[in-house]
Every structure is written in structure tokens, then in C-alpha cells.
Amino acid sequence: MTTKGVNQQAGPPSEMEHIKDRSNFLRGTLVESFEERLTASIPDDDGKLLKFHGSYMQDDRDIRNERKRQKLEPVYAFMIRVRLAGGVATPDQWLTMDNLANTYGNGTLKLTTRQTFQLHGILKWNMKKTIQEMDQALMDTIAACGDVNRNVMSTANPYQSDIHAEVYEVSKQISDHLLPKTRAYHEIWLDEEKVLESSKVESEPMYGPLYLPRKFKIGVAIPPSNDVDIYSQDLGFIAIIEDGKLQGFNVTAGGGMGMTHGDTDTYPQLARVIGFCPVDKVSEVAEKIITIQRDFGNRSERKNARFKYTIDRHGLPWLKEELNERLGWDLEEARPFHFEHNGDRYGWLENDGKWHLTLFIENGRVKDTEEYPLMTGLREIAKVHTGDFRLTPSQNLIISNVSRKNKKKIDELVQQYGLTDGKENSALRRNSIACVALPTCGLAMAEAERYLPSLISKIEDILDENGLRDEEIVIRMSGCPNSCSRPALGEIAFIGKAPGKYNMYLGAGFAGDRLNKMYKENIGEEEILETLKPIFSHYAKERNEKEHFGDFVVRTGYVAEVTSGLNFHT
């Protein structure tokens, strides 16, 4: 193994490295902190370790100032994120999550952009019960956040059910293979007997005691769908299907969306294809890539610690050489593939005698309102459904593998509760995603999920004026440049800058294969609408046949083409 550069640091290790080092394989003082009843919060160091257990401490920012005025501590509560490879859940698991959301959470479920469930509003004293009930339904939250491999994504759209099943198994294998080995989670949350009294008897053969320098994201795509936004992933696998059979995967590396406003050393980046590997080698490739990032990632500056920066510092040829050396064999030449889009296809679809219904869940928020009893409707479906649920990367939901016999029953429930595949909406709304942002996310600089729907309503008026209601345009909003909704891959995107203010980006590729570029900085709603009006009008009049909006704004010069994150700011 090449060792030059191993543990190479740009400076002294960041504080987070020390916290991991002291944590005794992610234990810290989490047990004591969660037993402490004098405060609803936990100490900062434990809060950082808690991420590795799939949870963040948050507080209700809507009432933060008022609480402060009253000299009360903020209303602390916890977000819990499930690890759900490929976004596949059984009806029982759905019912468990629904029950937990209503018993311990804020009565809603968030379907995330990485195909999993998030619960919000869990009080400290209910954390253990919540995780234990998930465990009974065969779900866990291990490594759903933190400096480890996160939830492995996998194409949700069941174009080819057999291939989907095979690829889903691969994503599950990767997810299991890359799990941390520490028993900390089982001891802390599931009361498993302590396996050790000293860290010496436990080890993390792949991660090591410091885990990764930063979070790590993996996706598996089945062309022509790029719903997982493969180019946004640290590591990606693109299924290569020849003669109707899965032959293996093209490997991609070095994607990532996050950046810091005003810091040009940080940027979103597209992953690049580095070769092809057979199906049975996928976990091995993933493991070796993880060890490369473990050894060469920047442990000094967290904002430059993602794998994309490691690759951009050392170069792609270096990565390939390092990988081949660690594998002991070479990746093959990448094979041809073609992506058509990165969104969902809605409504019923039949495949091999099984039916799949993709429902539109605006921004992934499952809740009941007087007008729209979405949560109840899905609960009733889960009670009779015998297939599975698939959470999509665009925050929607597929009621999947419905038998012909059951389809009528599910259709009746869909009618009864008015559940929608979104076809009554503009194509823009159906191609929209937003992160959580306010009031729970501590990093949010502006609204996202609570604001995007109303902004889209106003944009829809402009679309209608120009006959563009059914034009598929991908729009994304994130409350801060951490970019959880992958905004750099939106044909139109907004990243929060301050309350009510956003940087506006245009020009990503419809298939998620080109980054967008900043068009206007720090603008509010009025300026957003005024900016879009003439561009939509121009697009309606002068677009080429089948030309997507992102391609149009690049061709007509509104923004320059961005083919690499290295040109994102230039």
C-alpha cells in the first residue's frame, strides 16, 4: 500500500478529531448525559458524538428568542434519522414510524432526500424508548449521521423490478459492510451488556478509532434514472445492464454538494466515473475507497474534509492508482450508460404482474391537515399493504409491489383520503425538493420546506402566463449551503443566505449531470419573481424542441456552463 501522505495533515487535528479520539468508540458520556434529568439538553461533545448514533439535538428556533427573554432554556428536542438502505421499508416499519411520530415526535414524518425517515421533536427522556421500538421493527439509526458512511441510496423507480431487487441487495450489502463495528449503540440505546471495560478490546478494523474525517455518502443508480443524483455522492455505483442482465457497476467518486458562503475554497463538485467493477466486488471497492479517504482526508479543516477535496488535491490518476493498489486488481474500463432525468415518475406502473404507485409528498413531509389527511391515509394503506414502501430521493413515496388483488383496495384508500400522485400540480412543483431548515435545523439561515410551496405557487402564475405549467423543471431549495436538498443540481435553485434572502442558481442539467451557477446573490421573493419572469418568457418563445430549462439558460448565456466544481465560483 502506498503510504506517502497517510495521515497527512494540513495542520493540527480539528477539535472533532479529539472528541472522537476521547470517545471510546463513540460512547463518550452519552449514557450519563441521557440519564441527567435537570436539563432537556446534552453537553456539546456528546451532541457531536450523538450524530454517529443517527441523532441531532435541536431546539425550536421559532420560540428561541421568547424563551431567552423569559430566561428559560431553549425547547430542546432531538431529531432521529433511520438507516434505511435504498429507502425500502415494510408496512410494519411504516406503522412503527407513524406510531413513534405520533407518540414521541411532533406528529409528522419527514421523508428525507437520502431516502429515509426522520423524526423530529423527540424529547431527551423518550430517546431510548423510540430507538428501542425501532429496533423491535428491525430498524436502527446507526451511522445515519456522523463521520461515517451514511444511508446508502438506491434507485427507487421500479422500471425493471428484477434488476431493482438485485441492485437493492447490493446497496444493502454495501450498507452492512460499511457499518461501524463498535457496540456503543447497542450498549447505550438497547441496554446490551457491555462488551468491554476498556477500549483496548474493541476495534474498528476499517474506520479506525477516529472514523472518517467527514461524512461519506454512497448511492447506487439504475440508468436511465439518476434519481439518486449519483454525481452528488462521494462514491457511486451505476448499474450496467446488458441483455437485460446486471453486469456490474461503473464506479464514480468525488461528488458532494456542501460549501460555505463566500469561501471559494469550498464548492459543490460532480463525481467522476473512474472505472467498472463486477457485482461481487462492490463492497470491496467501497471499503478500499473508504480507507483512502480515512488515510488522506483532511482532518484539520472540516470544511475541506470531504472526499471531493481529497481527490481534487491529489488528482484522479492518483485515486485510481491508490485504489488499484489497495484492491490488488485494476478496475476495468467504464462502460457506456445514459441518464435521462433525476426526478420521479408518478402514478401507477405495472411491472411483471406487480403494481407500483408513486405518490407526491410535497417536500417529504407526511402529516395530517384538515384538508389533506395524508398521514392517516398512508397508515390505512400500510395496514392492508402486503408489498413494501420505497422512499425516493426526491422525498416522494412508492407503494410498491402491490398485487393485482390488492390494487383495488389500495386504490380505494387513495381515493378515500384524496392521496395524490401530484398530477394536478405543475411539473415544477412535482420536481421540487426542500430540506427541513427552520424551525428545527440549527444551521438554517433561511426557510426552505415551509417556504418553497408558497414560492412555487407564485412561480406557477408566471409559468401559466407562458404556457409552461407542464414543463418539467427541477427546482430545489436549501436553508443553508450545507445543501441537503442537493441544490447545486437544480435547474433553478435557492440557498438560504439570511431570513427571506437567497442566492439564486440556474443551469444544472436535467439528468443531474451538470452543476448550476449563481445568477443572483442575496435576493428576496419580489426579486426572485421579477428575475424569473423574463427568463421564462424567453424560454417559452425560444427554446429548442425538448430543450430543458437548465440547458436553455446555459445556451442563451444567462449563466456559464459549469462542468466541474473547480469552476463553480469563476
User: What are the residue numbers of the active site?
Assistant: 81, 150, 215, 217, 435, 441, 480, 484
Q: By CB under 6 A, name the one of 225, 266, 483, 503 that touches ligand SF4.
A: 483
Sheet harboring 272-278: ordered strands across?
Answer: 153-154, 218-221, 235-242, 245-253, 272-278
Q: Which stretch binds ligand SF4 (CB under 6 A): 115-123, 385-393, 440-448, 520-528?
A: 440-448
- Residue 497, SS3 per DSSP: strand
Q: Do the beta carbons of residue 354 and residue 161 sit within 8 Å? A: yes
Task: Answer positive or negative: Cα dihedral of 457, 463, 467, 471.
Answer: negative
Q: How far is the CB of 444 from ligand SF4 (least distance, A)?
A: 4
Per CB under 6 A, contacts with ligand SF4 among 420-439 are 435-437
282 belongs to the binding site for ligand SF4 (CB under 6 A): no
Q: How many CB atoms lie within 10 A of CB 205?
A: 8
> Residues 14, 252, 394, 482: which binds ligand SF4 (CB under 6 A)?
482
Regarding 444 and contact with ligand SF4 (CB under 6 A), the answer is yes
Which of 329, 223, 320 is CA-nearest to residue 272? 320
Rounded distance, CA 187 to CA 339, Å? 44
Q: What nine digits make up the cell of 481?
A: 449551503
Q: State which of residues 97, 427, 433, 441 lies at the interface with ligand SF4 (CB under 6 A).
A: 441
Between CA 469 and CA 42 the distance in angstroms is: 48
From the list 183-191, 371-379, 442-450, 533-541, the region that binds ligand SF4 by CB under 6 A is 442-450
Q: What one-character-per-residue DSSP string does 239-264 give?
A: EEEETTEEEEEEEEE--B----TT-T
Q: Of residues 213, 479, 550, 565, which one binds ligand SF4 by CB under 6 A?
A: 479
Q: Give the containing element (helix H, strand E) for 62.
A: none
CB 497 within 8 A of CB 503: yes
Q: Is 477 in the site for ligand SF4 (CB under 6 A)?
A: no
Minimum Å gap between C-beta 461 and ligand SF4 is 26
Task: Please report whether residue 293 would count as binding ligand SF4 according to CB under 6 A.
Answer: no
Q: Does 478 bind ligand SF4 (CB under 6 A)?
A: yes
Q: How many residues does the chain have?
A: 570
Quick check: 484 binds ligand SF4 (CB under 6 A)?
A: yes
Cβ closer to ligand SF4: 26 or 484?
Answer: 484
Closest of 43, 35, 76 to residue 439, by C-alpha:
76
Given the rule CB under 6 A, which of 154-162, 331-339, 340-348, 473-481 is the region that contacts ligand SF4? 473-481
Find the part of the chain contacting ligand SF4 (CB under 6 A) among 42-50, 116-124, 171-179, 479-487: 479-487
Q: What SS3 class is residue 276?
A: strand
Residue 480 binding ligand SF4, by CB under 6 A: yes
- Contact residues for ligand SF4, defined by CB under 6 A: 435-437, 441, 443-444, 448, 478-480, 482-484
